[in-house]
Homo-oligomer: A and B are copies of this chain.
């Protein structure tokens, strides 16, 4: 029996992870569930999976739940509750599926407590990749990606010698605006942006897909997960999202992982690695005429990708600042405070004004994160003032 804690259980990844686990009740048991404030869904999950601990980070949500729920699961709250859920002694693997930089602390706490990590929170590696991967090595735990692209890379790399890897090829759907000109992007609405062609995901990552910032974050994540230089990580646009990524080897052979776009497959692989189990995910039907297209990304129009390479190569606190500025800009866009193209401008402006700290401590990272959020927020406010003048 494998004991799993899920941080971010009411989100898109969290609910799909519970679907996977429900398919293998003889193999997995849920020890802890944590959510931000969706007390109703968390209550349903508690009733179905009966964890020892459940957390609502938001106090008021926790109060609401406690007033209704009187079962055996302990209801905790706040960051302290989250850290407890991340480090329960009964847990083998923690699936970290929180949105954004809030995943960093609980992930590190879980690694320090000797837990294997199924990582759905790429921001942890973007902001604190060096610290986290170093700690993972020290503690001898496994850090397994849940992102479909990184799961694909891990599957392609499995059984191969690291020294024979030439290049990682991360595929990108290109998002809903593939082929758009800068002019066309000026009038994008939030609604258009949230209509992703292939994947049903949370709002934040859907916007990140449209700007290609998500692909940039994935490049940085891949660098830390697999220890590959940025020069040897490329992005290939593949609109159908069937090939989830590829690895090119020194002999010229390329290994690719394919499947229907369904996050339950990479979630399950992170739990069963290096084994495989039957999964609820649908399989490819090759009796149907299928066409898979590949093309280079339009880096000039979608500048977020190049910016990510730039901050990645700069190292230090730069990737953290890139990520924090993006979170602020995306939130502003989702609240209709900012047009689509301004997201990348705000990231670039913030990155350009940041004093990079090389080999940062965790506290230097949090300081940079806070600085970037304030700076980006100020840029959003300035944009709004100028617009309303």
Binding site for B on A (CB under 8 A): 155-156, 158-161, 164, 166, 169, 234, 236, 243, 246, 248-260, 262, 265, 268-269, 272, 274-279, 281-284, 286-287, 289-296
Contact = CB atoms under 8 A, between A and B. Distances in A.
A297 B268 CA distance: 32
A276 B256 CA distance: 17
A278 B254 contact: no
Nearest to A264: B252
A287 B235 CA distance: 10
Contacts of A268: 251
6 tightest CB-CB pairs across the interface, nearest first? A159-B159, A164-B276, A254-B258, A251-B279, A252-B281, A290-B294
Contacts of A158: 159-160
B256 A252 contact: no
B296 A293 contact: no
Nearest to A268: B251
Given A161-B276, A255-B255, A291 B289 contact: no
B259 A256 contact: no
Contact of A294 (B160, B265, B269, B289): B289
For A250, A279, A283, the residue with the greatest tally of chain B CB atoms inside 10 Å of its CB is A283
A194 to B, nearest CB: 27
B286 A265 contact: no
B253 A256 contact: no
B252 A260 contact: yes
Contacts of A164: 275-276
A294 B283 contact: no
24 contacts: A156-B255, A158-B159, A161-B276, A169-B286, A234-B286, A248-B284, A249-B276, A250-B277, A250-B279, A251-B265, A251-B269, A252-B265, A252-B283, A253-B259, A253-B276, A254-B259, A254-B283, A255-B255, A255-B258, A256-B256, A256-B257, A291-B292, A291-B293, A292-B293
Contacts of A284: 248, 252, 254
Contacts of A256: 243, 255-258
Nearest to A254: B258
B159 A274 contact: yes
A293 B290 contact: yes
A275 B296 CA distance: 30
A152 B288 CA distance: 22
A272 B296 contact: no
Contacts of A169: 286
Nearest to A266: B253
A18 B234 CA distance: 33
